[in-house]
Structure 1
Amino acid sequence: MFLPKYPDNPTPPPAHTHAPTDPAPIARSLPSVSIDKNTVAVVLVGGVVLTALLVAVAVTAISVAVTAVVLRSMLRDHNRH
């Protein structure tokens, strides 16, 4: 039977040894933010106002588009006669 050949002496230690590094700096935690009822109310009111403005812009855009279609149709009918 064939047996693997092992070296007579163990492998030499690595020539380069790793020097211990400095310990990792301690991560600083963020300062705590106190959230009270007034802050929540302000954020909610701001969100409602911004949403209302967005809806107003969308309604205005739709009404302008409908008006443009109606005017174009009226002008086309007027130019045919």
Structure 2
Amino acid sequence: MLFRPQLPEAPQLPASPGTPVGRASVVTQHHAPPPAAPAPRRSLPNVSTGAIGLVLLGGVVLTALLTAVAVSAISVAVAAVVLRSLLNSQHRR
């Protein structure tokens, strides 16, 4: 019943034009229950373009820093391997 609302019945017209005026016809109308109010929608927070730009800029900066740290670590590792091989070859002579 909740998902199938019933429409009200059409009003009944007098049967013929010769119906006496003094006689009142009883018309029964069935009213459908008022529709339930829709559930309130949760509004999403407004995000400005400045906030989105700030997040993107922060991501770019953090990515650049991570790349710089990785390149530095690789260069230090290569330098350590080269120094180690130079020191080991010097001890063998």
Q: Distance in 1 between matches of 2:72 and 2:78?
A: 10
3-state secondary structure, aligned to 2:76: helix
Residue by residue over 1:20-75, the C-alpha shift from the partner in whole angstroms, topping out at 9 and shown as x without a partner, is xxxxxxxx865521111101110000000110111011001101110110000100
Higher relative contact order (CA 8 A, sep 6+): 2
Matched with 1:80 is: 92
Q: Which runs of 4+ in 1 moved over 3 A?
A: 28-31
> Which runs of 5 or more structure 2 residues have no equivalent in the other structure?
1-39
Aligned identity (percent) is 54
Q: Output the aligned Cα RMSD.
A: 1.8
5 Å matches for 1:30-49? 32-49=44-61
3-state secondary structure, aligned to 1:32: coil
5 Å matches for 1:2-81? 32-81=44-93
More helix by share: 1
